[in-house]
Chains A and B, each alone.
Chain A
């Protein structure tokens, strides 16, 4: 919709339908099982081996989309259970209970379909974000994230969101979308039941909480999903009608992909404040390539624009068929809130807290001199540097002993040159994982120019963990 056509559009268009289809981890479903005979007050429960929680009384359960199966973790989870139920498949429920006077039963093992459930309501507490950050990875290794698989050295980038089709981006001031707005939710009718958790409209990251009768949903628009080495989630298709009440709304509905900016963020830095590489708009993202550090990089989405269009068209046909009615919000959603970070918990520790000065040498030094330096400093690793103090390799005391035993005449043959490294701002959990994965005991700490700043050893991490819990 071009802005020149605002008056025409206001006169001719009554409703604009929007849509999005993507992974929304904070989704879930409440189910009520009815009572068994003898009855049970469930304490622990699993559906298809996925732990489900029991937030209410005896037989109400909540299936969280991101809860993973105890037998197939990362591959099957709550999102798949919800999808299987919607598809009409049979699922296996197991439960245990302490047994009480009024609820004597202690065990339950039963197969169920959605027809056996009293209520089966999707209750998604954070959905439909108006935009997402675009993720890339500056480390030396592939990382698996909730933003998908990211290749090393910024070789790809992933984004999410439907851009100009997204419901909330078309109503950024929450004039028409509010508590009670009737919506298209996964092929069935749903409602907005408030702001979503982490709703942050002032930073352009608004989202909503929704609910809908899952029994009436269409499996074409709701799919369990697995993100390798991250976990499971649920793809939802959400469409929201926006009534064209005034010319101001027409202006906002004219939003285009090139107007919607987001940040390209380095997910290789596992910190709350990840570094931003650049700003980018959804038109560039949807083109399939963006420039990162003067290089053209492939960029792909994790949400489906094709499905988002089907959602929006599906909603349009419901309205045209005359049975889906728009509702005015009962209450407006907040438009002035911000998502606060967590109060800093105790026990978080980073490389900068334990980095030690490294014992260093250059490649041309004598073996004996380097060995003496190791002994004097009571260390096990020597970091090899070039003339500019940049990382050239690493030698362990074992390598040095071997070179002496071999009667070698230089360090050259014993230097490990393909060195795994750490940076000062990394959490120790990440560093421990890297040490274990590569079965090594130390990592040189370097800066962006590969200058050596120090060393972290598994010994130092263990001491810290021994002294106080890492959280």
Chain B
């Protein structure tokens, strides 16, 4: 399963894009949460790993911003680079760089399906998105 965030703007929020993608590609999309109004909105959804790439491409072609990576957010103002999250992360998504700063490698992060790091942060600088 892949968790993604679809972001709709003023133009795309009025169109039935999600149902179009489901019908055109015969793929399941599991909607976990959705927040919409006339100005835009976002849908957090779970995609089948086998069809995820196809679905993401289809949404993007229809003008929707698809965010696959920002699943954990790190507040750099709060973070003191202590590393309390580093040993916990099973994906090596939270690592030190050469200057001993803690870097979030979003492409490796499992996001909401894991979330082990969130309550390990003494500064509460890590937050799940969605």
Please indicate the chain A residues that have their CB under 8 angstroms from the CB of B101 in the complex: 306
- The complex places the Cα of A305 from the Cα of B83 at a distance, in Å, of 9
Asked if A235 and B87 make an inter-chain contact with CB atoms under 8 angstroms apart, the answer reads: no
Which B residues from 22 to 50 make CB contacts under 8 A with A?
none
Interface centre among B82, B95, B100, B119 (most CB of A within 10 A): B82
Q: A233-B122, A298-B86 are in contact. Are A223 and B80 (CB under 8 A)?
A: yes
Q: Interface on B for A, CB 8 Å cutoff?
A: 80-89, 95-96, 99-101, 116, 119-120, 122-124
Q: Is the interface of A mostly helix, strand, loop or mixed?
A: strand
What residue of chain B has the Cβ atom nearest to residue A232's Cβ? B122
The yes or no answer to A299 lying at the interface (CB within 8 A) is yes
Asked if B86 and A300 make an inter-chain contact with CB atoms under 8 angstroms apart, the answer reads: yes
The yes or no answer to A149 lying at the interface (CB within 8 A) is yes
- The complex places the Cα of A196 from the Cα of B81 at a distance, in Å, of 26
How many residues from A make CB contacts under 8 Å with B?
31
Please indicate the chain B residues that have their CB under 8 angstroms from the CB of A235 in the complex: 80, 82, 122
The yes or no answer to A238 lying at the interface (CB within 8 A) is no
Asked if A157 and B100 make an inter-chain contact with CB atoms under 8 angstroms apart, the answer reads: no
- The complex places the Cα of A149 from the Cα of B88 at a distance, in Å, of 7
Q: A304-B80, A306-B99 are in contact. Are A299 and B120 (CB under 8 A)?
A: no
Q: How far is the CB of B6 from chain A (nearest CB, A)?
A: 32
Q: A223-B80, A306-B99, A307-B81 are in contact. Are A300 and B88 (CB under 8 A)?
A: yes
Please indicate the chain B residues that have their CB under 8 angstroms from the CB of A306 in the complex: 81, 99-101
Q: How far is the CB of A203 from chain B (nearest CB, A)?
A: 25
Asked if A21 and B86 make an inter-chain contact with CB atoms under 8 angstroms apart, the answer reads: no
- The complex places the Cα of A364 from the Cα of B123 at a distance, in Å, of 54
Q: How far is the CB of B107 from chain A (nearest CB, A)?
A: 19
Which A residues from 41 to 98 make CB contacts under 8 A with B?
75
Q: A156-B88, A288-B96 are in contact. Are A149 and B119 (CB under 8 A)?
A: yes
Q: How far is the CB of A402 from chain B (nearest CB, A)?
A: 36
The yes or no answer to A18 lying at the interface (CB within 8 A) is no
Please indicate the chain A residues that have their CB under 8 angstroms from the CB of B80 in the complex: 21, 223, 235, 304, 307
